[in-house]
Amino acid sequence: MILSKWVFPVFIIFILFKLQISIGVSKDFLKIAKQDEVLDWMVGIRRKIHENPELGYEEFETSRIIRDELDKLGIVYKYPVAVTGVVGFVGSGEPPFVAVRADMDALPVQEMVEWEHKSKVPGKMHACGHDAHVTMLLGAAKILKDHDHLLKGTVVLVFQPAEEGGGGAIRVVDSGVLKNVKAIFGLHVSPGSPLGQVSSRSGILLAASGFFEAVITGKGGHAAIPQHSIDPILAASNVIVSLQHLVSREVDPLDSQVVTVAKFQGGGAFNVIPDSVTIGGTFRAFSKESFMQLKQRIEEVIIGQATVQRCNATVEFSSKEKPFYPATINDNSLHKYFQNVAGDILGPSNVKDMLPLMGSEDFSVYQEAIPGYFYFLGMKTESNKNPASAHSPFFEINEDILPFGAAMHASLVANYLIEIQDSETRLNEEHHDEL
């Protein structure tokens, strides 16, 4: 019983000491990432990847660059995972395991930014910052490898293919490589937020999303005698207008949903009514129930409106190539942890809460399997007051963001391993005290 009186005070001193060490390490990580040698190394990698953009499941050169750098760092990895993905391991090789993810794929966009390291592949561009995501995770890998003696467990580095509609996260989860992982972290660059500022929230962050495509078939003919035809363009126009009524007239205004028709293909001449028209788009919602209801109504409206116009319609939704993405929902227990670590590194004033967005992310797939946390990292400066948005051909990365992302990645996972160890120690001490 005498021993038990000393257990709690000693344990508190131990925790404070460990906390002081972890905070100090986090701040050192940012200083290291900002060193000219490290920053120049990251910039070189990012530009190499940017010059050679690859679409989902085609990221063979990007994957080779990643593996070459991991080899130089002495980091072991698995390849291939999910076709082109790479999964590295830093630390003891033993539990607990914590993961951090970066997406690798580019977009089918023609780059319009004129600079020395412009995309060398016509019609393809890193217009969403995934080249920076990969680079920042490699930067974190370097920092963690140099401090692997401090890691009380193993960090799993996930370089994922095919985030842009290909569902690469699904294949990574199905591979089983994350089976024993306790938590996973991910980020996305934010062109509209100040450099070094992070934004996120507890709970729902991004929407569930899906794609649809419909073929509306009528009867082609001469445009001068429309009575002899059945016009699928007119039918498709009515379909599009009616689809907009789903959100404006069938959805609770407090339950955010989106239906957007972004594809309309039909006809090739001024005086010919075509036989068919193809339309397609995306739909989004924050809850699974709202998402599935929207899906059902989209199909009913397309088929019903086509019938009114004497046409036939077939509707297809997200396929294996373009699967549905669930909502991105941040784990509540990780939110406070994220705020504390980010505040230590960037300063509390640079850690912001944000409103949910109707964008989507396949990081949500990881969150359905294990606790996960996703956040945005700003890169806007005074010299770039009106940055182009993601998916724009004028999208540009501010390379000053790279040290912040590398340090955030490294700090979140390194401190998480310390916190897991402390929690286990506390449970053991409490159990011992009870005995």
Establish if 322 belongs to a structural domain.
no
CATH number, position 157: 3.40.630.10
| Residue 373: strand pairing partners | 185
Residues 200, 161 share a domain: yes
Q: How many CB atoms lie within 10 A of CB 429?
A: 16
Establish if 183 belongs to a structural domain.
yes
Establish if 381 belongs to a structural domain.
yes
Establish if 435 belongs to a structural domain.
no
Is 80 exceeded by the pLDDT of residue 24? no
How does DSSP classify residue 81?
E
Which of the listed residues 279, 295, 317 is the one where a domain comes to its end? 317
Residues 361, 281 share a domain: no
**Ordered strands of the 208-217 beta sheet:** 257-265, 276-285, 208-217, 312-317
Residues 168, 61 share a domain: yes
382: confidence class by pLDDT, cuts 50, 70, 90: confident
Which of the listed residues 265, 282, 317 is the one where a domain comes to its end? 317
Establish if 251 belongs to a structural domain.
yes
How far is residue 81 from each of residues 60, 65, 388, 435, measured CA to CA in Å? 12, 15, 33, 47
Residues 143, 25 share a domain: yes
Burial of residue 299 (number of CB atoms within 10 Å: 0-12, 13-18, 19+): middle
Which tokens sit at 351? Answer: 């850690």
Q: How many CB atoms lie within 10 A of CB 23?
A: 17
425: confidence class by pLDDT, cuts 50, 70, 90: low
Residues 150, 56 share a domain: yes
Residues 304, 347 share a domain: no
Tens digits of residue pLDDT in 279-335: 999 999 999 999 999 999 999 999 999 999 999 999 999 887 889 999 999 999 999
Q: How many domains does the chain have?
A: 2
Establish if 424 belongs to a structural domain.
yes
354: confidence class by pLDDT, cuts 50, 70, 90: very high
Residues 368, 305 share a domain: no
Q: Say how far apart CA 330 and CA 328 lie, in whole Å.
A: 7
Which tokens sit at 146? Answer: 């140099």
CATH number, position 257: 3.30.70.360
Establish if 195 belongs to a structural domain.
yes
Residues 191, 290 share a domain: no
Q: Say how far apart CA 160 and CA 56 lie, in whole Å.
A: 10
Whether pTM exceeds 0.85: yes
Residues 184, 252 share a domain: no
Residues 191, 42 share a domain: yes
Which uninterrupted H or E stretch holds 435? none
What whole-number percentage of the chain has pLDDT above 90?
Answer: 87
Which of the listed residues 317, 350, 379 is the one where a domain comes to its end? 317
Which tokens sit at 84? Answer: 């082109």
Work out whether strand 154-160 and strand 97-103 pair parallel, antiparallel, or are unpaired: parallel
Residues 368, 259 share a domain: no
Residue 117 phi/psi, 5° resolution? -110, 35
**222 is in which domain, residue-wise?**
208-317
Residues 120, 26 share a domain: yes
Establish if 232 belongs to a structural domain.
yes
Q: H-type helices in 332-401, by residue range?
A: 332-346, 363-369
21: confidence class by pLDDT, cuts 50, 70, 90: very low
